[in-house]
Amino acid sequence: MAEPGPDQAAWGRVVALQANFCRVELEQPPAGQPSRLLCTRRSRLDHAGLQVCVGDRVRLETIDWLAARAAVVAVEPRHNLLERPAVANVSRVMVIAALAEPALDLLQLTRFLISAEGTGAAVELVLGKADLVEEPLLRDWCRRLEAWGYPVWPLSTRSGMGLEALGRRLARGPGISVLCGPSGAGKSSLLNALVPQLALRVAAVSGRLQRGRHTTRHVELFRLPSPAELGAGAAEALLADTPGFNRPDLPQDGTSLAAAFPELRSRLALAGCRFRNCRHLEDPGCAMGTDWPRFALYRQCLAEVEQRAAAAPRAASSQRRRSGRSGQGDQLSRPAQAD
């Protein structure tokens, strides 16, 4: 088979973005040629407003095998997109939160779960640093968070608790799993434990503020151990390490927010609600009630969504007034033209 060249194309997966370049892993690299290429984007992609994201399947042309360089000329339509951090074609989102150092923040965790739910992919919850809490408290946290509607994986990278089970889970079924969560939750430490040869940089939590320190600077995909290493039934899988941040955005409207709470979705599926635009917030006639696990957190998030929606028209009106005054000033200061 002829090797792809400038007049031929190859397909691959974007595994990392670096400045104005992307690293692409080829699906079928020719024998003796590099499997990863450093690629630029064709200008027509920029003109079309198309952003290339980690996880995208892309078409390459103008391949220089000696320099391991190529150009991305097309992006296959995505199945979904995790917007922050941007990862395309996600099969599973693993939200990781530390039980200690720093202490678990339920509102922050809820915001990450809401963001993950927006992909439509399976969402699961990893409880890191589980060795730092007493066994009864750990069991209580697991029961509490499972009631939110998520599979829960308690683990410790220091003691090895739960690592083997989680590794098998991630490798069973092809696709991209994303690790996301706040700074200091232990994402890079978990990847180092699952794939020791990576030796990713990690840092301790700030002692004064009890906040995580950013060690991952960009999104990158890593290949998990081969199926042979993980036993029968496993399949090759990719895992994305992502930069930590502490305040994911909420949806733009209350309907999308309600759909991001599995426990509320379950109630809606069973009992329904006769109001199409119901806020599910103790509204008269709403069948959802207030006795579900995250009602207080839902109410807090909904208040923020509604406050932002109410402020948007005022901000737009203020911007128009400022623009109008600026235009008037330009006209008044412009010198008269001679006839």
The class level of CATH for 10-77 reads mainly beta
Kindly tell me the burial class for residue 237, based on how many C-beta atoms sit within 10 Å of its own C-beta (0-12, 13-18, 19 or more).
Answer: buried
SS3 267: helix
Residue-wise pLDDT for 193-221, tens only, equals: 888 777 665 544 444 434 434 344 578 88
Neighbouring C-beta atoms of residue 199, cutoff 10 Å: 10
Above 60 in pLDDT, residue 37?
yes
CATH code assigned to 82-241: 3.40.50.300
Above 60 in pLDDT, residue 117?
yes
Res 200: pLDDT: 60
Mean of pLDDT values over 217-233: 65
Res 233: pLDDT: 47
Q: Which two tokens stand for residue 41?
A: 């984007």
Mean of pLDDT values over 314-320: 61
Phi, psi angle pair for 225, to nearest 5°: -50, 150
Percent with pLDDT over 70 in the chain: 77
In angstroms, rounded to a whole number, what is the distance separating the alpha carbons of residues 267 and 280?
11
Res 253: pLDDT: 86
Res 48: pLDDT: 66
Neighbouring C-beta atoms of residue 177, cutoff 10 Å: 23
CA distances from residue 44 to 41, 51, 87, 98 in whole angstroms, order as listed: 8, 11, 22, 43
Neighbouring C-beta atoms of residue 125, cutoff 10 Å: 24
Residue type, 3: E
Per residue, what are the HEC states of 160-191? Answer: CCCHHHHHHHHHCCCCEEEEECCCCCCHHHHH
Above 80 in pLDDT, residue 265?
yes
Mean pLDDT of the chain: 80
Mean pLDDT check: name the lowest of 239-243, 261-265, 317-321: 317-321
Residue type, 272: G
Q: How close are the terminal C-alpha atoms of the chain, in Å?
A: 75
In angstroms, rounded to a whole number, what is the distance separating the alpha carbons of residues 297 and 125?
17
Res 214: pLDDT: 39
In angstroms, rounded to a whole number, what is the distance separating the alpha carbons of residues 68 and 34?
7
Res 320: pLDDT: 63
Neighbouring C-beta atoms of residue 36, cutoff 10 Å: 15
Above 70 in pLDDT, residue 267?
yes
Tell me where in the chain the CATH 3.40.50.300 domain(s) lie.
82-241
Cβ contact 177:89 at 8 Å: no
Above 90 in pLDDT, residue 231?
no
Cβ contact 112:180 at 8 Å: yes
Residue-wise pLDDT for 147-193, tens only, equals: 999 999 999 988 899 998 988 888 775 689 888 888 777 787 888 88
pLDDT band at 273 (very low <50, low <70, confident <90, very high): confident
Residue type, 94: M
Pairing mode, strands 220-223 and 238-241: antiparallel
Q: Which residue has the higher pLDDT, 233 or 64?
A: 64
Residue type, 289: G
CA atoms within 13 A on the CB side of 45: 16
Neighbouring C-beta atoms of residue 321, cutoff 10 Å: 10
Q: Which two tokens stand for residue 254?
A: 């209350």
Q: Which residue has the higher pLDDT, 96 or 3?
A: 96
Q: Which residue has the tokens 């220091």?
A: 158
Pairing mode, strands 238-241 and 176-180: parallel
Note the residue count of the chain: 339
Q: Which residue has the higher pLDDT, 204 or 271?
A: 271
CA distances from residue 227 to 157, 194, 202 in whole angstroms, order as listed: 22, 13, 27
Q: Which two tokens stand for residue 29?
A: 């690299």
SS3 309: helix
Tell me where in the chain the CATH 2.40.50.140 domain(s) lie.
10-77
